[in-house]
Chains A and B, each alone.
Chain A
């Protein structure tokens, strides 16, 4: 072996020894310290009704775009994925870029909210929030940005209200062809899955059922993730990021019973949105009636909403000003973390700023 090679091995051994020492020291700190505070951007709660919360983030500039922006979170998770920590917060990024930001976020539905169905979310919660945003800003126009199932709710609302002053509609990783969600399709197979019994017995669909289902989508990820955490325990940035995302992923919400039943039957079993047969409040949802500028961003490595499930949305929307973008990343890394800061956030602000005056 040459001298150069043996020096290289020695250097590598020194690095690994140094990391092993840090792992032991910082590992103790990991178990004794608390996780970073998430979702702490200053905000005011404008509306609270059971599971529904509407927040208004305090502007960070003296001059904002005319059109307010309403973020709509998926009903399974907490909205702080958009507001992790300073410098890693989409909300903060939008505020600094001059947007007036509101967020429709969810709490766990209470036992007496088990009767809430999709129409309660689309025809009651969303319109109430939109009305409150109008009151607060004095503007009729507004932009909606929906993430995952928040995007489904947004598209359903927009499809039912083609004459509303919706200025822009943005969806992130929003499924529309539910027959392409292979794993969820298999698990909700109507031959084996008695959704009525589950809802009738539990009231609301328990969060741990949903957490287990999401976890099982990638059976090796949890073990490999924990080994990687041990390996990177010396790296403060890695540990901080791991804790943020792990906490968010584990912080799942139960789903209102009727809402879960309808989602299973109308979307997973009958694929009604894709087939154009979905009705809410006695009215047919027509995505083709949406004419507001539309942006759909999907993630190439999305294991929760595969491209085949989300890609057809762009064709179904009636707008002439519409764009579909497939970005590198997964379902979560598309909207938060280093990947999002580099890719999605600048794209979103560029696209919106031209359409928010």
Chain B
């Protein structure tokens, strides 16, 4: 770090910033952990959830009227696809282990010996 002089404004600023951060953290934490803040925060969250539920409901009705799948239906299809993919992957790995005809993409790497011992500690 460069040397500082008693009148170095840059270092004074850095010191002030550190002090401000500590103060802001302390003061902010006291405010944020108060029951009043928690009540207001969760009130806002509840309103947000209510709004989201109303919007989802409206959207589902609109999509249903347009004869289109809703988000939850797409999510269901996606989940089914994932399950099918996982099953195919399991079958594939079983086959590659059992059937000689399927060769792995990479040859197996040599495994290290499992005989390592801890380094001797210096006498002291």
Binary interface profile of B, 10-33, with partner A (CB < 8 Å = 1, else 0)?
Answer: 100010011011111100110011
In the complex, which residues 1-41 of chain A have their Cβ closer than 8 Å to any Cβ of chain B?
Answer: 5, 8-9, 11-12, 15-16
Binary interface profile of A, 77-112, with partner B (CB < 8 Å = 1, else 0)?
Answer: 000000000000000000000101000000000111
Q: Are A187 and B82 in contact (CB under 8 A)?
A: no
Instruction: Name B75's contact: one of A65, A111, A139, A219 (CB within 8 Å).
Output: A111
Q: Are A187 and B116 in contact (CB under 8 A)?
A: no
Q: Are B8 and A12 in contact (CB under 8 A)?
A: yes
Q: Are B32 and A112 in contact (CB under 8 A)?
A: no
Instruction: Name A63's contact: one of B21, B82, B112 (CB within 8 Å).
Output: B112
Q: Are A220 and B21 in contact (CB under 8 A)?
A: yes
Q: Are A220 and B82 in contact (CB under 8 A)?
A: no
Instruction: Name B116's contact: one of A15, A224, A357 (CB within 8 Å).
Output: A357
List the A side residues contacting B109 at CB < 8 Å. 58
Q: A246 at interface (Cβ–Cβ under 8 A)? A: no
Q: Contacts A9-B5, A182-B33, A357-B117 known; A100 to B112 CB distance under 8 Å? A: yes
Rounded to whole angstroms, the CA-CA distance of A357 and B78 in the bound complex is 46
Q: Are A186 and B34 in contact (CB under 8 A)?
A: yes
Residue of B nearest to A10 (CB): B5
Q: B61 at interface (Cβ–Cβ under 8 A)? A: no
Q: A228 at interface (Cβ–Cβ under 8 A)? A: yes
Q: Are A112 and B118 in contact (CB under 8 A)?
A: no
Rounded to whole angstroms, the CA-CA distance of A98 and B75 in the bound complex is 44
Residue of B nearest to A198 (CB): B49
Q: Contacts A186-B33, A186-B35, A231-B14 known; A218 to B5 CB distance under 8 Å? A: no
In the complex, which residues 180-196 of chain A have their Cβ closer than 8 Å to any Cβ of chain B?
Answer: 182-183, 186-187, 189, 191-194
B31 to chain A, nearest CB (A): 8
Most buried by A among B29, B35, B49, B113: B29
Q: Are A201 and B32 in contact (CB under 8 A)?
A: no
Instruction: Name B4's contact: one of A12, A62, A202 (CB within 8 Å).
Output: A12
Rounded to whole angstroms, the CA-CA distance of A63 and B42 in the bound complex is 55
Residue of B nearest to A62 (CB): B112
Rounded to whole angstroms, the CA-CA distance of A223 and B118 in the bound complex is 46
List the B side residues contacting A50 at CB < 8 Å. 82
Instruction: Name A217's contact: one of B23, B29, B35, B41 (CB within 8 Å).
Output: B29
Instruction: Name A220's contact: one of B24, B43, B117 (CB within 8 Å).
Output: B24
Q: Are A218 and B78 in contact (CB under 8 A)?
A: no
Residue of A nearest to B118 (CB): A353
Q: Are B49 and A220 in contact (CB under 8 A)?
A: no
Q: Are A112 and B14 in contact (CB under 8 A)?
A: no
Q: A128 at interface (Cβ–Cβ under 8 A)? A: no
Q: Are A16 and B10 in contact (CB under 8 A)?
A: yes
List the A side residues contacting B39 at CB < 8 Å. 191-192
Rounded to whole angstroms, the CA-CA distance of A313 and B114 in the bound complex is 32
Q: Are B53 and A9 in contact (CB under 8 A)?
A: no
Q: Are A49 and B3 in contact (CB under 8 A)?
A: no
Q: A221 at interface (Cβ–Cβ under 8 A)? A: yes
List the A side residues contacting B115 at CB < 8 Å. 63, 66
Q: B119 at interface (Cβ–Cβ under 8 A)? A: yes
Q: Are B21 and A353 in contact (CB under 8 A)?
A: no
List the B side residues contacting A187 at CB < 8 Å. 32-33, 38, 41
Q: Are A63 and B8 in contact (CB under 8 A)?
A: no
Among all A-B residue pairs, the 10 with the closest Cβ atoms: A220-B24, A219-B28, A112-B79, A224-B21, A353-B118, A186-B33, A192-B42, A111-B75, A220-B21, A66-B114
Additional pairs, 19, CB under 8 Å, beyond known A216-B28, A219-B25, A219-B32: A9-B7, A12-B3, A12-B4, A16-B10, A50-B82, A59-B111, A63-B114, A64-B116, A66-B116, A110-B79, A110-B82, A112-B76, A187-B38, A189-B35, A192-B38, A202-B52, A220-B24, A231-B14, A357-B117
